[in-house]
């Protein structure tokens, strides 16, 4: 059953009513699976190799097509250099169907400008990878009272600037729960506990194919890495067999072989039918010869009035089955 597509209005209306599932996807296959699984919100970015994201801009478009009902956030690898560029980049995504854009590294002034242009945006609070150098690297934010107050203040500033949601990355669960209750926007937990408005995971973690470090808050539901290794092994085996067939000159066209085989079978069937027909003719001729011989004997006895009753009946039957010349 086709489900109704979430709009920004629907997305915000879920606040306090139910938790939303939010999944970062890397391909259209993953997007299609998210669509079928009923995932509420998908995220797609492109050309971010430093974060293991090798998706291209065109692939992001195909991701949108593969998951038409999911609310979708898009992100760009090249930071905007101006307010104008920020708006221009956003419209590129909205033009092919993205519902909102990531603004985790943008200033509040740029976000306000995008809101004036009616562009839905998603902010980022806590551990923001693009700003990690300012907080001493990758670490949880909000463990101290000052940091917790800073998390709340930053979130409210983003809300006032016009974002519709905020990614909360590695914020202590108690702090995240308090901020979630004090805001009107959607708070998405990335390792920030179960009391936010949404849970945000990456598909590579969910499917178990993450290369390198796996975050502590990641949930692994399948072991695709092992499956990919098995598939790679099968690829090597198939290519090895092809290489060996090449060395062995084992490349007579199988269609030709099959055709020749079918022709041989056809000839055999025809020859068997012809032999059967010939045998049938021989049998008919022998039967006719035997009938004529028997009939001659009966005619001779009839001339002498020496036929028994059974011989007389036999004589009449044979006379009907063959023409006497």
The burial of 273, by beta-carbon neighbours within 10 Å (0-12 exposed, 13-18 middle, 19 or more buried), is given as exposed
Residue 35 is a catalytic residue: no
Of residues 36, 169, 234, 323, which has the active-site annotation?
Answer: 169
Torsion of CA 250, 251, 256, 258, to 10 degrees: 50
Q: Which of 143, 202, 130 is nearest to 170 (CA)?
A: 143
Determine the 3-state secondary structure of 187 from DSSP: strand
Q: Which residues pair with 187 in a beta bridge?
A: 166
In the 8-state DSSP scheme, what is residue 144?
Answer: S
| Percentages (nearest 5) of helix, strand, coil residues in the chain | 55, 15, 35
Cα distances (angstroms) measured from residue 8 to each of 41, 163, 253: 11, 11, 58
**Residue 286 and residue 320 in contact, taking contact as beta carbons nearer than 8 Å:** no
Which residues have a catalytic role annotated?
Answer: 169
């Amino acid at each position: 059953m086709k489900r109704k597509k979430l709009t920004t209005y629907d997305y915000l209306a879920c606040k306090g009513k139910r938790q939303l599932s939010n999944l970062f996807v890397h391909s259209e296959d993953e997007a299609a699976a998210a669509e079928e699984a009923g995932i509420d919100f998908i995220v797609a970015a492109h050309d971010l190799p430093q974060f293991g994201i090798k998706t291209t801009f065109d692939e992001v478009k195909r991701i949108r097509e593969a998951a038409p009902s999911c609310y979708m956030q898009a992100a760009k690898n090249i930071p905007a250099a101006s307010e104008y560029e920020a708006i221009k980049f956003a419209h590129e995504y909205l033009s092919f169907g993205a519902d909102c854009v990531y603004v985790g590294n943008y200033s509040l002034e740029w976000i306000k400008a995008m809101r004036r242009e009616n562009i839905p945006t998603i902010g980022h609070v806590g551990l923001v990878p693009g700003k990690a150098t300012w907080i001493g690297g990758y670490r949880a934010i909000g463990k101290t009272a000052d940091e917790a107050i800073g998390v709340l203040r930053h979130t409210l500033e983003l809300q006032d600037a016009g974002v519709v949601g905020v990614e909360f990355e590695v914020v202590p669960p108690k702090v995240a729960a308090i901020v979630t209750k004090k805001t009107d926007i959607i708070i998405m937990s990335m390792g920030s506990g179960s009391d936010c408005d949404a849970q945000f995971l990456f598909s590579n973690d969910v499917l178990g194919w993450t290369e390198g470090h796996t975050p502590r808050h990641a949930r692994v539901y399948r072991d695709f890495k092992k499956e990919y290794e098995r598939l790679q092994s099968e690829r090597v085996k198939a290519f090895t067999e092809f290489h060996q067939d090449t060395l062995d000159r084992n490349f007579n066209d199988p269609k030709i072989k099959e055709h020749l085989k079918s022709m041989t079978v056809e000839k055999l069937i025809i020859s068997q039918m012809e032999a059967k027909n010939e045998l049938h003719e021989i049998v008919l001729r022998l039967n006719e010869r035997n009938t004529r011989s028997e009939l001659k004997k009966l005619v001779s006895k009839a001339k002498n009035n020496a036929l028994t009753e059974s011989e007389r009946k036999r004589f009449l039957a044979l006379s009907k089955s063959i023409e006497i010349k």
